[in-house]
Amino acid sequence: MSNKIMTDKQTGEKHCRCFKRCGGCQLDEPYKDQLERKQQKADRMLSKFAPVNRILPMEKPYNYRCKVQNIYGLDRSKRIISGVYQSSGQKIVAVDDCFLEDERAAPIVRSVKKLMKDMRIPPYDIRSGRGILRHTLIRTSRSTGQVMLVLVTAGAMLPAKNNLVKAMRAAHPEITTIVQNICPDGMPLTLGERDIVLFGKGYIEDELCGCRFRISPASFYQVNPLQTEKLYSCAVEAAGISEGVRVIDAYCGTGTIGIICAKNGAEVTGVELNKSACRDAHKNAELNGLENIKFCNDDAGKFMQAMASKGEGCDVLIMDPPRAGASREFIGCAGRLAPQKIVYVSCKIETLERDLKAFRREGYKVTYIQPVDMFPHTMGIETVCLLERNGEKNEAH
């Protein structure tokens, strides 16, 4: 079924007839109205801490997602379909195209469906536990042109895999690597721990803020690199990064922000609890030839508490926590470490508001707030905040 994405010839605005059924977008209104809606929300929730800058828009707010996942199934006529998995109803919403996704993804998905039919590769049925292909993951890079296709299967068996790879390469020479990921159990759209590289290096590379990053199937990487450049540039500028500045990059993931800081001369320690992400961070530092950054596989709060107990410190703490925000323990540890500046990169404004109140009690004042529209057509707002130490803790707030 075609989505029938429509484009207004006068304004260039796009509309998708799958809007209400899919759930991938939450906003179906002109882009300028989306930006105003988000600006008002940011002002309402954050202006009590400091003036809120105008949200940084995306020049062309379409086809920005560099990570695309599609689940596969059968319709009532036993035809193979692909689309979005809705956990609430445990069903697939058939989607053939999406104006949020990199334009290279949809043709690859169509080829996968055709080859599944030709080579008799059945989609996996979560209810019966039968079938082979769970979903596909496509990662792309605009800066390097590289494309990764990940075939997520329920077991190691993948019929005619050599012919499948050969056919996909012939149909899509832009694909630079193909990986089979084996996920024997788990929820839809999850990855297993075992990868089998079927073609290429098993990863792609992307360039961001003058640095190069390796992206493997399970790597965390921002889905909108164009806006990520703006986001990270704001974070580095707010931190006042220069030669010799001591930085802790908490929740560092694959090391992106920390590596950009190190590239600008800072002495960086990245802390990440996820072992796989920490391994990727080490590789990314090597890829950029940096010796002024190191990574520790540890809980960030415990790591900072240990530093403070030894009398060690840092000039800047950079934190980019998950949507749940920072824990009370983490904020308390940050207060004991007492860096002069904290740069908070937030992907959920509700938890950011809560955490800024907690940091205020630790003796920090917000001096800079910059929203960035990372996810056009959704309600998401990414925000960079600078907090500066301004005195003693205040338990009264």
Q: Quick one: which of 359, 329, 327 has its CA closest to 343?
A: 359
Does 251 show up as a binding residue in the annotation? yes
Q: Where are the alpha helices (DSSP H) in the chain?
A: 19-22, 31-46, 105-118, 161-171, 225-239, 256-263, 275-287, 300-309, 328-337, 349-361
Q: Quick one: which of 305, 293, 302, 319 has its CA closest to 387?
A: 319
C-alpha 341/C-alpha 363 separation (Å) is 11
C-alpha 376/C-alpha 378 separation (Å) is 5
Looking from the CA of 3 toward its CB, the CA atoms found within 13 Å total 24
Does 43 show up as a binding residue in the annotation? no
DSSP bridge partners of 382 = 372
Tell how strand 147-153 and strand 341-346 pair up.
unpaired
Annotation says 66 is catalytic: no
Annotate 231-265 with b (16+ C-beta within 10 A) or e (fewer).
bbbbbbebbebeeebebbbbbbbbbbbbbbbbbbe
Q: Do the Cβ atoms of 359 and 351 come closer than 8 Å?
A: no
Does 222 show up as a binding residue in the annotation? yes
Residue tagged active-site, from 209, 211, 347, 385:
347
Annotated binding site for S-adenosyl-L-methionine: 222, 251, 272, 320
Q: Residues forming the annotated binding site? A: 222, 251, 272, 320
Residues known to be catalytic: 347
